[in-house]
Amino acid sequence: MKTAVIILGHGSRSDGNDAVVKRIVAAIRESVNGDIVEYAYLQYAQPTPDEALDSCIRQGAKKIVIVPFFMQSGMHVTKDIPAFLEKSKQKHPTLDIRVTDYVGAHPLMEQIIADLIRKSR
């Protein structure tokens, strides 16, 4: 079964603010060897979640894993992403679509913050 991953961020009106997401997506593409890896934004930037989902389907994905690239569990994480998931499952009932926890909730976040602090000294 061909799997796709969508890194789903907020988006920004400012040019160049998507560089981090693009860098992460490029690194993940290299590490997963053959899986589809796309990115999308909920606001202000392209591609939209619908566009990324359609791209994954065109590439043959049968399973799609959405990773919310958010630090906190705000409205996008608790309302907008679940609404997108429900709408997508209704539109594509044979597609296996899942959402991971948001990035900020990952247990390694404390280590990342400690590493940033150590590097700033």
CATH, residue 23: 3.40.50.1400
CA–CA separation, 17 vs 101, rounded Å? 23
41 in Cβ contact with 51 (< 8 Å): no
What global pTM score does this model have? 0.93
**How far apart, in whole angstroms, are the C-alpha atoms of residue 23 and residue 84?**
25
pLDDT reading at 3 higher than 80: yes
Q: How far apart are CA 72 and CA 82, in angstroms?
A: 15
What domain count does the chain have? Answer: 1
Question: Rounded to the nearest 10 degrees, what angle do helices 49-58 and 81-91 cross at?
Answer: 40
pLDDT bin (cut points 50, 70, 90) of residue 16 is confident
Dump the DSSP string for 52-64: HHHHHHHTT-SEE
**What is d(CA 99, CA 57) in angstroms, rounded to the nearest whole number?**
16
Between 15 and 28, the more confident residue is: 28
Is 6 in contact with 50 (CB distance < 8 Å)? Answer: no
Q: What pLDDT score does 34 carry?
A: 74
pLDDT for 32: 86
Residues of the chain with pLDDT > 70, as a percent, come to: 100
pLDDT tens per residue, range 39-97 = 999 999 999 999 999 999 999 999 999 999 999 999 999 999 999 999 999 999 999 99
Give the residue numbers spanning the domain of 91.
3-120
Report the alpha-carbon distance of residue 115 to residue 84 in Å, rounded. Answer: 34
Q: What is residue 95's predicted lDDT score, i.e. its pLDDT?
A: 97
